[in-house]
Amino acid sequence: MRFTGFTRFSRFAATVGATAMALTTAGASLSSDVRRQPDDPPTFSSDIAPILFSRCSVCHHDGGAAPFSVLTYASVRQHTTLIAELTLKRVMPPWKAEPGYGEFVGLEPLTRDQIDLIQRWVSAGSPEGDPRALPDAPQWNADWQLGTPDLIVTLPQPYTVPAEGGDRFRIFVFPLRVDGTKYVRGIEFHPGNRGVVHHATIRVDNTPTSRLLDEDDPAPGYEGLLAHSAGYPDGHFLGWTPGQVPPLLPKGLAWHLTRGADLVVQLHLVPTGKAEPVQPSVGLYFSNDPPERTPAMIRLSRQNLDIPAGERAYHVTDSYVLPVDVDVQAVQPHAHYRGREIKGVATLPDGTTKWLIYIKDWDFRWQHVYRLVKPMPLPRGTKVEMQYTYDNSSGNPRNTQPLQRVLWGQRSSDEMGDLWIQVLTANERDLAALNNDFRPKMLAEDIVGTELLIRAEPARVALHDDVALLYLAMNQPERAVDHFDASAKLKPESAVTHFNLATALTVAASTGRDVQMSGGRLDQAIGEYQKALQIRPDYASAHNNLGSVLLQRGNPSQAIVHLMEAVRIDPRSAEARYNLGRAYRAQGNRAAAIDSFRETVRLMPNNAPALNDLASLLATAPEDALRNGLEAKRLAQLAVRLSGGQDPAALDTLAAACAEAGEFDAAVEYAQLALQHAPPGRAATLIAERLDLYKQRKAYRSP
């Protein structure tokens, strides 16, 4: 291993709930008093049960995810023909990765010998054999396999899957309501009704986007698209397929769960013939330790898919050259019914190639995360590539709809092509370099796909919202304004659409070069925020943002009205407190400003701008009663540290605080440092003037 200090982090726990159990494997428990001749046909007790117990019973037990139990002869006997057929065709167990192209945790296929044994057994009439030779059956229960969760969330109301119809994909939003930041080591999904839930895709949305989509649909959950804001947290895969319980993460690899975040769960539901209520639960496991390492998620993807009807082999590739060294931890391919062959290949700078994944016969129904038994090191300059082939002809047995042209889209009748690759980097710097390098590629591809969907359905608000957020992330706020404007026109009765448009206008104003035009944008934004508040007077974020914009437009007293309202509605909003502090300061009410900044820092102790502003007032306020040099110094030190030690404004404040505390030598030193990092201009001139004061052993007072 080339990375020092990396070994601790280089492996995710290589156990899953399913395989962590002590299972008796083939032949191991054959009782000594059972005598068998070598030519005797295989029997259930001696030969078949060990295979079924260890490889199939994780799902096939009473109350399990699969239809029947393999734990008793009586039950197995009723399905022998099916067992022989499906194991021979490798339909079961449903592990799709080609043997010999990488080793994955818990997903080993049956061996040739095991398959032959089952064939011979069924041909011989499926004899039971001597029950005394039967290995101990594994115990499965409905409890949490990872232990008692720290937080259990259950869908508040059950959703009823209708008796009939095709497979359904429905998205449910679970509000988590955590108080502050939590570190999550793992989650365990319980489908609630195993017969109907085929698999679950799980994401985290730190924005209210998914929740609002859910609220728009009167029944629990909503049908439609996962919002782009619903992502894999801190580069960790989440999800559930029968038989796969994702392991708890090792110490130092937890992910952040912040206040206001929702769990977004997309269920693949299969009607059973009668109406079925489904009410899933998710257990979360927290860690006391903040993460020391964060993985990165690379998503190879094509969203310009356009597959002609009848096309037998439609090839799609996407690739990415790694800007840093990484260790591949896991991969997850994604395609729908037309996907046939899935290849993930890494080409190293020296030309050697390694398989990331190879699936010859892709099956949309089995969306596994393939966790590598041993992480795969890939050096900087390695090209990771996906090579997917789609079959949109009648020769594809899973292409079960009438032949038609197929475009990209999230619905199962559309087609997709993604290869998610989870990697660990050597250090935080490499992680940042990788994320910065990769992010524009992903956003650009997402824009391609979403614009394509908008062309097909120009009146869908959710699509306009989605692409607008992507444009904002790509630093193209004007395009975001266009799409949020479309949303607001399509759904003028929604407060959120006006809020979104106003916020994009504000961002556009801050990046626009033309001052007059920026002012116009801000005035438009004020109008849109006001519309949002007419519809929803208790919209705390709208009050906050409107206050902030009014402050920018030089109207602190109007700003204070809205910011106080924001604080009243959401007393825990640090942002509104901070803006309120700024507004009071702009009004010249320094005492009130200090109170607001103090409250901000209490709510968010590591907020560098608030620490800096508070320290600055405590160091330089003209009113003697307001100043406190020592406290200012302590706060400014923290602000300097949090902002990386080179931020001129934070250093300037620290210098002023030292001077107020009577430590003029330190003040001179910090002011000189601030000057070093300040770009030439007015700010630098002011720092230089203050430096002269400190040299004369005088503190600085703000005017």
Partner 1 sequence: MLCLLVFAFAGSAGAGRLSAAPSTLRLRDLDNALVDPFQALPSTKATVFVFASVSCPISNRYAPEVRRLHDAFSSNGVTFWLVYPNPAESAADIRAHLKAFGYPVRALRDPAHDLAKITKVSVTPEAAVYDARRSLVYHGRIDDRYVSVGVERPAPTRRDLQDVLTSVLAGTPVSSATQPAVGCFIADFVQ
Q: What are the residues whose beta carbons fall under 8 Å from the beta carbon of 298, sequence distance 6 or more?
A: 320, 384, 420, 421, 422, 423, 434, 438
CB closer to partner 1, 394 vs 534: 394
Binding site for partner 1 (CB under 8 A): 67-68, 74, 77-82, 85-86, 91, 94, 163-167, 195, 271-274, 363, 365, 397-398, 400-402, 412-413
CA–CA dist 528, 523 (Å, integer): 9
Minimum distance from CB of 55 to partner 1 (Å)?
A: 17
Q: For Cα atoms 171, 234, 345, give the angle at the middle one, nearest 5 degrees.
A: 90
Minimum distance from CB of 1 to partner 1 (Å)?
A: 41
What is the three-class DSSP state of 422?
strand
CB closer to partner 1, 218 vs 397: 397
Q: Which of 612, 532, 613 is nearest to 565 (CA)?
A: 532
Q: Which residues pair with 339 in a beta bridge?
A: 390
Contact 310, 395 (CB under 8 A): no
Minimum distance from CB of 44 to partner 1 (Å)?
A: 13
Judge if the upstream peptide bond of residue 93 is cis by omega within 30 degrees of 0. yes
Minimum distance from CB of 57 to partner 1 (Å)?
A: 17
Q: Which stretches of 475-617 are assigned E, i.e. beta strand?
A: none
Instruction: Quote the tokens at residue 116.
Output: 């032959």
CB closer to partner 1, 96 vs 483: 96
CB closer to partner 1, 82 vs 490: 82
CA–CA dist 113, 316 (Å, integer): 36
Minimum distance from CB of 403 to partner 1 (Å)?
A: 11
Minimum distance from CB of 125 to partner 1 (Å)?
A: 10
CA–CA dist 247, 265 (Å, integer): 18
CB closer to partner 1, 94 vs 239: 94
CB closer to partner 1, 403 vs 686: 403
Minimum distance from CB of 542 to partner 1 (Å)?
A: 42
Contact 275, 160 (CB under 8 A): yes
Q: Which of 361, 362, 357, 409 is nearest to 385 (CA)?
A: 357
Minimum distance from CB of 75 to partner 1 (Å)?
A: 9
CA–CA dist 651, 697 (Å, integer): 18
Minimum distance from CB of 409 to partner 1 (Å)?
A: 15
CB closer to partner 1, 195 vs 252: 195
- Report which secondary-structure segment, H or E, holds 656: helix 648-660
Phi, psi values for residue 86, rounded to 5°: -75, -30
Contact 36, 47 (CB under 8 A): no
CB closer to partner 1, 397 vs 680: 397
Minimum distance from CB of 167 to partner 1 (Å)?
A: 7
CB closer to partner 1, 27 vs 131: 131
Q: Which of 244, 247, 239 is nearest to 334 (CA)?
A: 239
CA–CA dist 279, 156 (Å, integer): 8
Minimum distance from CB of 266 to partner 1 (Å)?
A: 17
CB closer to partner 1, 274 vs 489: 274
The DSSP code for 222 is B
Instruction: Quote the tokens at residue 134.
Output: 């039967």
Q: Which of 408, 358, 415 is nearest to 391 (CA)?
A: 415
How many helices (H) and strands (E) are present in the chain, helices listed first? 20, 21
